[in-house]
Structures are given as structure tokens and as C-alpha cells.
Amino acid sequence: MGDVKHLINITDLSVEDINHLMETADDIIAHPEKYWDSCAHKKLATLFFEPSTRTRLSFTAAMMELGGNVLGFDQAQSSSSAKGETVSDTIIMAGCYADIIAMRHPKEGAPVVGAVKSRVPIINAGDGGHFHPTQTLTDLMTIHRKKGEIGNFTVGLCGDLKYGRTVHSLIDALLRYENVRFVMIAPEELRIPSYIRDRLNNEGVDWSEVESLEDAIPELDILYMTRIQQERFPSWEDYEKLKDSFILTREMLKPAKEDMIVMHPLPRVNEIDVDVDEDPRACYFYQALMGKYIRMALILYLLGIK
Amino acid sequence: MNIDGINTGYVLDHIKAGKGFELYHLLGLDKADCTVAIIQRASSGKYGAKDIIKIDADIPIDYDLIGYISPDITVNIVKDRELVKKFKPKPPTILTNVLECRNPRCITSVERGIPQKFRLVDTESRDYRCVYCDTLYRENK
């Protein structure tokens, strides 16, 4: 509505916008005290129509560290949507009480509907299997901090590349950077969808598909593991067949580069053995931490606070 | 009505054979208060067979919809029995309330009062994607 900025998809942000967010997040990490009161008297509404742990906690922590307050709900049953209220009405109502909204909704495109009438910024905190742009920002921030730049590396994406929205968004984002090579590691049933395949080919990037994680590991600078998500499968049988397709163990990291990083959007189930946590290359909990800082930077950016 | 000629109105020519009635309904001509003729499977040198719609009134016509249905359709605008304009509407960049999203996970499946909107993503293949959930709509028209 008007000039209100929203974040629905990662491509709503230019590379320059993302660089600005990462610079702000770097500054927050270096000088947290400068930002303690940045959002004083501001309120973030977390409207979570489906459960979430990490995303909601990181948004809450981000706003609290900026000196702001948080209100909201964490399941649809606690909201008026259980009584039949439309997303649009819920968003207009929330805009009466909050300065910015982070929303998660099981239906794809719900934040687009919300953004049409909202007078406050909306952050898409995940809409079904569609977009999850703040996870992508978290991933980019982690790569930026650990690798010093975004670009000039080989990234292996492993696990559910068919239904995994984090992977799709990350590919979209990385396609805008120089010299990124992709290795897609997935069983045949969970390979990347054809439209992403087309996009990779149209962009002329170097990419390959393999089924063996062990074979791929030595050439990787970044290994991005994903969970095989039971909730995205059409049947339990299909899930059972594929759920343990890849399990990363510490032994498997032996031939990996010294400075390779292992990422995971979390939660993990079996796909990364807990022994890997002790390896200095494991950075998925660091990644979760970066999620808080980049969300702090995003809240400041969308509220127009310097 | 003499279907060979109209006074003031439109002749929608080169409609793919068999699509005339669909376009008639999509354009809301079944509710129009004027004379409309649909000619089915007329012979065509270029296409073999074609449908033609003749509208004998100067009523508002949704050219976006025509462009979406087929880029081959020619719109002839007639005034006082004279052809004053002839053109082929292009596919619209945004198509509103023509297609319905088939994705059961799309917000349009539950939210009341929102328009069904699709954006053109490929001019050549005329592929559209739902603006809400990005579901691809590719129909062999």
C-alpha cells in the first residue's frame, strides 16, 4: 500500500539492499549497544498461523534486542482466523496495533494478500512450501561472515531439493552473484523441479546433479544440508522410503576442504549426525544466530530507522 | 441479422475453430443486450477452419481477454459499415479473474473477496503464473 516496504520474496531485495542489510548486521554484531534503543516504543506483531520455533523466536529476539516489543499469536486456533476472519482483515487489524508484521501462513501467497491492504511493513516468515526470504537472508549472512564474500565458491545442496523451499530461495538468491557453482545432491525422487533446472540452464551457470554425498564432498566450499520434510510428502510410504537418504557423519568430512562450511536451516532430524557438531566446519547453530542479526537489520530497514 | 455485415460493432475473426463459444461466454456476450452471431467452423485459407463472432453494437470489449485466448484473433472495429480499425490484441501482462488457480495450497483457495490474478512470464509461450503462489498456468489453447 503506497510506499510501505514489504519483504515477500528474496527477489524483492536487490543485491545492494542485501549488502546494506549485511553491513548493518555486521555493525550490530560489532556494536550491539548502539542498537539497544533503536526500536524503543515500536511493536512487532508475529502472526504465526502455523507453528514455528526458530523463526518466531529469532524475530522475537531481534525485536527485543532493538528495544522494541512483540505481540502476536503462534497458531491459527488462537487467532480470529479460527472464526473465519480473512487474512486481509487480520492484517489490517494487526496494523492498528503494531508498527511491523512478521507473518507465517500455511497457504502460499498469503503475505501477498496481506501486503495489498497493510499500512505497515509485512515480512513473509514463510508461506507454506513457497517462500521463506528471511531464511535466505540468514543463509547469505552466514556465507558472508564465514567466507568473506558471496560468490566464487562451489555449493553442494543436499537432501530434499524437490519440496525444500529454503533451497529454492537460496538458488534464486545465489544466481545473482558471480561464479557460484552448484552441485545438487539428491535421490532421483527429490531432484530439483524442472522450472529451477530451466532457470539454471538459462542463466548459464555451472551446475551438476549427483546422488552420492561422499563423492561430492571433496570439491565443496559449502555443504548445505536439508531435512527430508515429512509434511511435504503426499504419502507416509514415500517419506519412509527416502527419509534417511543422506546422513552426514564426521567420518565423511575427512576428505572435505579445511575451510568448507556445513549449513542447515534446522531443525535437523537424522541428516546430520550429532558428532558433526564438534567439527569446526559445522556452522548451523552459528547460522541460527546470524538469523537474529539479519532480522534485526531487516526490521530497521523496513521501518526506515538508521 | 445479416451476418455478412454489421453497422457498428466488432468482428472477431480467426478464432480457433471450436473456441468461439468459450470466448463468447468469457467476454460476457451471453449477457449483452445486442445482436451477436457466432459462426462456427468457417473455412479459412490460413487455418483450415475458424470461428467468427460478430457483435452488432459498440459495447466495451475486453481486449486483454482476447489476447490471452489467442494472439491469432483479429479484432475488426466497424463504424457505419466501414472498417475503422483492425488489430491483434497482445496477451496482457496481468490477467484478472479469467483463470482460477488450481493449487489447493494457494491462498486463493480459502481467502474470500480477492481477485484471481496471473502474470505473464513468457511472452512467446504465453505462460502465466499465479501472482500469489507462482503456480504455472500453461494451457494448449
pLDDT tens for each residue of B85-141: 999 999 999 999 989 999 999 999 999 999 999 999 988 888 999 999 999 988 654
Nearby residues of A293 by Cβ (< 8 Å), 6 or more positions away: A25, A28, A29, A62, A141
Instruction: Please indicate if any CB of chain B lies within 8 Å of the CB of A247.
Output: no
Nearest CA in chain A to B115: A113
Cell of A147: 567466507
Could you tell me the fold of the domain covering A134-288?
Rossmann fold (3.40.50)
Select the residue from B109, B132, B136 to test the A interface by mutation, using most A Cβ atoms within 10 A: B132
Nearby residues of A90 by Cβ (< 8 Å), 6 or more positions away: A47, A79, A80, A81, A114
Residue A249 designated active-site: no
Rounded mean pLDDT of chain A?
A: 93
Q: What is the pLDDT of residue A1?
A: 45
Domain range annotation of chain A? 10-133+291-303, 134-288
- Same fold? A10-133+291-303, A134-288: yes
Which CATH number is B94-137 given?
Answer: 2.30.30
Instruction: Please indicate if any CB of chain A lies within 8 Å of the CB of B111.
Output: yes
Q: Nearest Cα to A56, choosing from A69, A46, A65? A: A46
Which CATH number is A10-133+291-303 given?
Answer: 3.40.50.1370
Domain range annotation of chain B? 9-87, 94-137
DSSP state letter for A193 = P
What are the CA-CA distances from residue A280 to residues A155, A258, A260, B71 (Å)? 18, 9, 9, 59
DSSP letters spanning A15-47: HHHHHHHHHHHHHHHH-GGGGTTTTTT-EEEEE
Query: A63-79 pLDDT, tens per residue?
Result: 999 999 999 998 877 67
Residue A104 designated active-site: yes
Mean pLDDT of the B7-33 span? 93
Q: What is the pLDDT of residue B141?
A: 44
User: What's the ipTM?
Assistant: 0.86
> CATH assignment of B9-87, given 3.10.20.440, 3.40.190.10, 3.30.160.160, 3.30.70.140?
3.30.70.140
Query: A194-217 pLDDT, tens per residue?
Result: 888 988 999 999 999 999 999 999
Nearest CA in chain B to A109: B132
Instruction: Please indicate if any CB of chain A lies within 8 Å of the CB of B108.
Output: yes
Q: What is the pLDDT of residue A180?
A: 97
Cis peptide before A267 (omega within 30 of 0): yes
| Predicted TM-score of the model (pTM) | 0.88
Query: A109-132 pLDDT, tens per residue?
Result: 999 999 999 999 999 999 988 899
Is 70 exceeded by the pLDDT of residue B3? Answer: no
Query: B38-82 pLDDT, tens per residue?
Result: 999 998 877 789 999 999 999 999 998 899 888 899 999 999 999
Q: Are strands A222-225 and A153-158 parallel, antiparallel or unpaired?
A: parallel
